Structures are given as C-alpha cells and as structure tokens.
Amino acid sequence: MYVAPSILSLDYSKFKEQLDTINEKCHYIHFDVMDGHFVPNLSFGPDIFKAFRKNSNLFMDVHLMVSDPSYFSDVFIKAGADGITFHDEALGTLEDKMALINKIHNNYCKVGVSIKPKTDVEAIIPLLESVDLVLVMSVEPGYGGQAFIDSAYDKIRQLDEYRKKHNLNYLIEVDGGVNDKNAHKLKDCGCDIIVVGSHLFKDNLEKNIDDLNVYE
Ligand code: DX5
Ligand code: ZN
C-alpha cells in the first residue's frame, strides 16, 4: 500500500526540503484542486502544479473537486498531470462520465473516479471497467484535518471484492483522515493507496512517511 502525500498540508515555507523528502520516500503526490463551487474552498491552480512538476518525477495524481471536471482536466493534463481523478457527483449522465474518461485516456493520462462519503459504490459500477483508480472519500471533500468516516472501510472491501470477481485492475485509494491508527485496517480491506495530509505534515515528515511505508 503506497502513501500519497496530500500537499494541501505541506509547509510552504519549507517547499524544497519537504518535496525532496517526498521525492525520496514516495511514489505519488496527491494534488487537490478546489474551485470554491463543488466544495466551499479554493486551493491551487495550474501554475502551482507546474512548480511541483518541475521539481518531481513522481506520479502526480490530480484530485479535481470542481464542478467542471472536463474543463479542468484539460488544464491539468496540459500542465503535466499523470492521473486525473474526477468526482462522480460532478457529472450527471453516464454518457458525460464516459466521454470524460475517454478524453483523459486519449491524452495518455490515467483516470480515477471519486465518491463522496454519502455516495454508494453502486453509483460507479458502470464506470469500473473503464477507470484506472477509484478514490473513496473518507471525509467530506474541501478541507484537510477532518476525522475519518468509518463507512469508507465497507466501500473499500466492496470495491476489492468487485474487482476480484470481475477480473478488473483499478487501484483503490482512500482520502481523508488517514493516519497511523487506521492505515493497517485500510490495507486489510484491500486499499492500494492512502492519501495522507495533516498527519504527515504535522511534525516530523520523514518519520511519519516511514511509519506508514511499513505497510507497503
Ligand atoms: C480533502 C482533500 C484531501 C485532504 C486530506 O478534501 O481531498 O486530500 O488534503 O487531508 P487529511 O489527510 O488531513 O484529511
Ligand atoms: Zn484529495
């Protein structure tokens, strides 16, 4: 199970130092994009993203918490994203969701679909054979530092069973309230990637990553 640091919580006065640590110890960087509309908060645009891209060869996983994922997927693919994850709730029809998935794939970029805590796995079943990753939100999207919502465990188990049964190979990622207390259980449920923000950056970044890398 891999650790994807959520750089929403990075200490920007130590940008280079913290990014060097992440480059050395991780495989992914999780980059949260918020538009102040799909979620009541704003985060980063493509210029900040490019500063990370310039200083890292890790897989840059862009989590779009936006109402217009089609527009922003173009923006972040152009900026150098390796993977784009959109929210199922942001698009209405299966046709629109499939069109977005195909567009992103046609740009040689991986695609993830994310569900909020109140959305059931059933909502995304028709997409599962077309995506590379499913992101289960274990907090309401919008802010770092919230408490983990337990319903995520069952969703991860359900997604793991489904991919085994149907011979699919999407990755399962969880985001929100992940720490050294719940990582073990998340691995047992079948999770492949944990997104971790406030827990990693609250004090000793190196040690906090090492402690979670034991689950690799
Ligand atoms: C929340 C974001 C998360 C957030 C996680 O909307 O999607 O990626 O940064 O932060 P923690 O780990 O602090 O819950
Ligand atoms: Zn996120």
Residues forming the active site = 32, 175
CA distance 126 to 165: 15
177 contact partners, CB below 8 Å, separation of at least 6: 138, 139, 146, 147, 148, 149
The pLDDT-based confidence of 216 (bands split at 50, 70, 90) is confident
Ligand nearest the Cα atom of residue 6: 1
pLDDT for 13: 96
Q: Mean pLDDT over residues 49-53, rounded? A: 97
The residue nearest atom 10 of ligand 1, judged by CA position, is: 144
Nearest residue by C-alpha to atom 4 in ligand 1: 144
Confidence of residue 172 (pLDDT cuts 50, 70, 90): very high
- The DSSP secondary structure of 141-166, one letter per residue, reads TT-SSPPPPTHHHHHHHHHHHHHHHT
Predicted confidence at residue 124, as pLDDT, reads 98
| Size of the chain in residues | 216
Give 174's pLDDT tier (boundaries 50, 70, 90): very high
Could you report the per-residue pLDDT of 1-12, keeping only the tens digit for each? 999 999 999 999
Residue 165 alpha carbon to ligand 2 centre in Å: 28
Q: How far apart are the CA of 129 and the centre of ligand 2, in A?
A: 22
pTM for the model stands at 0.98
Q: Is 106 helix (H, G, I), strand (E, B) or coil?
A: helix
Looking at the predicted structure, is the pLDDT value of residue 132 above 90? yes
Beta strands in the chain (DSSP E): 2-5, 28-34, 59-65, 83-87, 110-115, 133-137, 171-175, 193-196
Q: What is the pLDDT of residue 61?
A: 96
User: Does position 152 have pLDDT exceeding 90, yes or no?
Assistant: yes
Mean pLDDT within 134-142: 98
Q: Say what the pLDDT of residue 127 is.
A: 98
Q: What integer is the mean pLDDT of 109-130?
A: 98
What residues have CB less than 8 Å from 47, skipping those under 6 apart?
Answer: none
For 59-98, how does the pLDDT look when each residue is reduced to its tens digit (9 = 90+)?
A: 999 999 999 999 999 999 999 999 999 999 999 999 999 9
Region of 178 (left: φ > 0; alpha: ψ -120 to 50; beta: rest) is beta
Quick one: what percent of the chain has pLDDT higher than 90?
A: 99
Whether the CB of 195 sits within 6 Å of ligand 1: yes
Distances from the Cα of 75 to the Cα of 68, 85, 171, 200, 210, angstroms? 11, 13, 24, 28, 33
pLDDT of residue 86: 99
Q: 173 falls in which pLDDT band (50, 70, 90)?
A: very high
- pLDDT of 23 reads 98
